[in-house]
Amino acid sequence: MIGYLSGKLLEKHANQAVVDVSGVGYDVTIPLSTFYELGEPGSDVSLRIHTHVREDAIQLFGFSSVRERELFLKLISVQGVGAKSGITMLSGMSGDEIIAAIRTENISKLTAIPGVGRKTAERMVIELRDKVGDLVGTSQAASAVGSAETPDGGEAVFDDALSALVNLGYQKNAAEKALQQASREGTEQTVQKLLRAALQRLAK
């Protein structure tokens, strides 16, 4: 099983990175919190990996820290929380926010995440309330501004951000509205900034 990858970043998208390790390109699914930390294509990258094996596929999920991977593993251990839901959770809010919501039994905050219903949120609280204490700390995702935050063409940035939100499970109309609100309020036109601002609005 692959647990760690270190190499050159070939490509990056809001939910995906391709890492060149000695001439082999690994396609890795990542949460937005990890995307914010990636450099530009061609830069060095190191990711903690969870290898997810199914009957029909082997998927790699990458994280910027051991702590983030451990939280992901705890999330997907809950019945009803799949790997995609785990990535969506880490994309929609920081690790500290997720941990706080679980420890304070904030069901409404957890159900704001696409694909997480009330029963699943309640199971998360029951099963993880006493297991996430060792992960409490300053989340890199909460404070990261992303080394790759560089302005780009406004329309392309908007489309990339919209695609990322739809892939996370948000309705296209709702995602468009949140992004438009963020743009009108003067949010800097980078994928990272728009995504953060839109996710804050979608979580309300």
Fold exhibited by the domain 154-202:
Helicase, Ruva Protein; domain 3 (1.10.8)
Both tokens assigned to 159: 């489309």
Pick the CATH number of 4-63 from 2.40.50.140, 3.40.50.970, 1.10.3720.10, 3.30.2010.10: 2.40.50.140
Q: CA-CA distances (angstroms) from residue 143 to 7, 91, 113?
A: 25, 14, 20
**Nearest-5° Cα angle at 145, 167 to 34:** 45
- Start and end residues for every CATH 1.10.150.20 domain found in the chain: 66-143
Question: Which pLDDT score, from 0 to 100, does residue 151 have?
Answer: 41
In the chain, which segments carry CATH 1.10.8? 154-202
- Provide the residue count of the chain: 204
Domain with CATH 2.40.50.140 in the chain: 4-63
List Cα–Cα distances, 110 to 52, 78, 96, 102, 126, in angstroms: 24, 13, 13, 8, 13
Q: Are 47 and 5 in contact (CB under 8 A)?
A: yes
Q: In order along the chain (204 residues), what is the average pLDDT of each group of 10 residues?
A: 92 91 95 88 95 87 92 92 87 84 90 84 92 64 37 68 81 85 78 80 73
* Residue-by-residue DSSP string for 17-76: EEEEETTEEEEEE--HHHHTT---TTSEEEEEEEEEE-SS-EEEEEESSHHHHHHHHHHH
Domain 66-143 has CATH 1.10.150.20: yes
Predicted TM-score (pTM) of this structure: 0.71
